[in-house]
Amino acid sequence: MGANIHVCKDLNLIESFALIEKDVHVAGPYKTLSYGIGKVTLPTALKDGRFGAYLTLTTVHYLPESPANLISISLLVKKMIFWNSETYVLQHGGRTVGYTPKSSNELYPLLLHRAWPSTAFMTNMKRLPLDVWHQRLGHLNYASLRTYLSGQGIIWVENDPPHCRPCALSNAKKVYNRATKRRSDQLFHTVFTDLVGPIKPEGFQKERYYIVFIDDYSRYQTTYTLRSKTEWLACFIEHYNWVETHFKTKIATLRTDYDSVVRLRAFEDFLSGYGIEFEPAPADGQDMNGVAEAGQRTLMSMVRSIAIGGNIPDFLWPDLVLAGTHIKNRRPTAALQGKTPYELVHHSKPDLNHLRILGSTVYVLIQDGSKVQSEKVSPRAREGILIGFDGDSICRVWIPSTERIERTKDHAIYEDVLSTKDASDISTSSTPEATATELV
């Protein structure tokens, strides 16, 4: 279901304005206050920049608090103006009269022929309540959430921030005063790392630790889960090779807490062999590794909120840590003046369309090879719990009935139905596939 009305947030653009005050439905069942109506005329442009037509929108509602000017596709259709979602062109009477560049967030900016004081968006998007985005983005604080969604061009339904029990239970922390240090100005030049654990209970595959690598410049985080501390050298080598392969650069400096495990001779030999400067903090100087410590605290706070809010079994924490990293790289941070780590690394805004609330109920299609041919009336899907994402198209789902973790693209997710199963209800006798790491 798309937008129900045309919306303009700039009164100077509205002609024949009539003052009214009434509640209107912009999208879905949620209401907002309209302060008046009028008409707006837009000079559209074609893909090559040539003039298209004068598009006159009648009954445009004045909503000054709207994040964007909106054109309702459903109202255009009633006027025999059609928008092609595959070619992104606007047509009337068989003639192309406008163009909307491709977008990743279901808001399509209408190309205008001459300078215009504001941007109009074609929208087919269902507006979601702010607290849904709060949960989708790993319980991001509301101030940063509003700023981020506005920058992404995403329209939401404003509501009073509810008391978020998972946040209240997970965000209690000490306050640290740390002096601001000069950041690196090169991608992956300086990397902070922190080894966390042992964590109880053990993960589904006997994981007891996880390690984070955080780029000082972009704050982009990579996370690996480990069964033993001694695996961390292999994780660093994998991370080093990933940086070199994908970004054609090399890590020059590594900063970490003091820990006897990182003072292994093999590790020091590896660093010296590749010319990497090693800066371990002294035993009483953990504040020198503040970026990694703050990053892993933010990650664990997010994981706790997600686990509590979604009733996700504790032994699935390794997948939640990886999912939290996936989300954290796509959230704005004050260290980057409201930008996301993903933007600085990939030079484009992240696509949020694949994000769903972790802990949601998922119905996963049973693939042909797993079906029993004689059982024609048996279910075609298994019920599971959403516990993570592999990239932007594949979900990771815990299936209680089979005690396995499945990677799937054929599924249906119900965000309004969260898991009600506790860890004590599910055994961990079987061994699923190996845990994936956040690499993209």
Cβ contacts of residue 70 below 8 Å, gap of 6+? 3, 5, 6, 7, 26, 120, 121, 123, 155
171 and 253 both lie in a single domain? yes
103 and 59 both lie in a single domain? yes
Is residue 133 included in any domain, yes or no?
A: no
| Burial of 209 per CB tally in 10 Å (0-12, 13-18, 19+) | buried
For residue 301, give the amino acid letter. S
194 and 58 both lie in a single domain? no
pLDDT digits (tens, 9 = 90+) for 217-235: 899 999 999 998 888 888 8
What value does the mean pLDDT of the chain take? 77
Q: How far apart are CA 236 and CA 316, in angstroms?
A: 23
Cβ contacts of residue 367 below 8 Å, gap of 6+? 410
Is residue 146 included in any domain, yes or no?
A: no
- Token code pair at residue 138: 């790993």
301 and 394 both lie in a single domain? no
342 and 379 both lie in a single domain? no
> Which of the four pLDDT bands, split at 50, 70 and 90, describes residue 45?
confident
Q: How far apart are CA 401 and CA 385, in angstroms?
A: 11
58 and 184 both lie in a single domain? no
Q: Which long-range contacts (CB under 8 A, 24 or more apart) does 366-373 make?
A: 367/410
pLDDT at res. 422: 46
Q: How far apart are CA 361 and CA 109, in angstroms?
A: 34
23 and 77 both lie in a single domain? yes
**Within the chain, what is the greatest distance between any pair of CA atoms?**
78
Q: Centre a 10 Å sphere on the Cβ of residue 210 and count the other Cβ atoms it contains.
A: 28
Nearest to 314, CA basis, from 167, 402, 168, 201: 201
Of 346, 376, 392, which residue is a domain's last?
Answer: 346
Is residue 11 included in any domain, yes or no?
A: yes
Of 75, 108, 126, which residue is a domain's last?
Answer: 126
382 and 336 both lie in a single domain? no
394 and 264 both lie in a single domain? no
pLDDT at res. 87: 80
Is residue 89 included in any domain, yes or no?
A: yes
The proportion of the chain whose per-residue pLDDT surpasses 90, expressed as a percent, equals 9
Is residue 438 included in any domain, yes or no?
A: no
pLDDT at res. 231: 86
CATH number of the CATH domain containing 223: 3.30.420.10
Of 323, 346, 369, which residue is a domain's last?
Answer: 346
Burial per residue of 360-394, b for 16 or more beta-carbon CB atoms within 10 angstroms, e otherwise: bbbbbeeeeeeeeeeeeeeeeebbbbbbbbbeeeb
307 and 408 both lie in a single domain? no
Is residue 155 included in any domain, yes or no?
A: no
> Which of the four pLDDT bands, split at 50, 70 and 90, describes residue 427?
very low
Q: How far apart are CA 418 and CA 421, in angstroms?
A: 9
Asked whether 342 and 148 are in contact (CB, 8 A), the reply is: no
CATH number of the CATH domain containing 369: 2.30.30
Is residue 285 included in any domain, yes or no?
A: yes
Distance of CA 241 to the CA centre of its chain: 26
Is 0.75 surpassed by the pTM of this model? no
> Which of the four pLDDT bands, split at 50, 70 and 90, describes residue 208?
very high
100 and 220 both lie in a single domain? no
Is residue 176 included in any domain, yes or no?
A: yes
> Which of the four pLDDT bands, split at 50, 70 and 90, describes residue 435?
very low
Most confident of the following: 59-68, 151-160, 335-344: 335-344
Domain count for the chain: 3
> Which of the four pLDDT bands, split at 50, 70 and 90, describes residue 116?
low
pLDDT at res. 28: 56
pLDDT digits (tens, 9 = 90+) for 249-292: 999 888 887 554 555 667 777 788 888 888 776 655 455 556 76
List, as one string, the DSSP characters of 135-184: HHTTS--HHHHHHHHHHHT--EE--PPP--HHHHHH-----------PPP
311 and 340 both lie in a single domain? yes
The residue segments making up the domain with residue 398 are 360-425
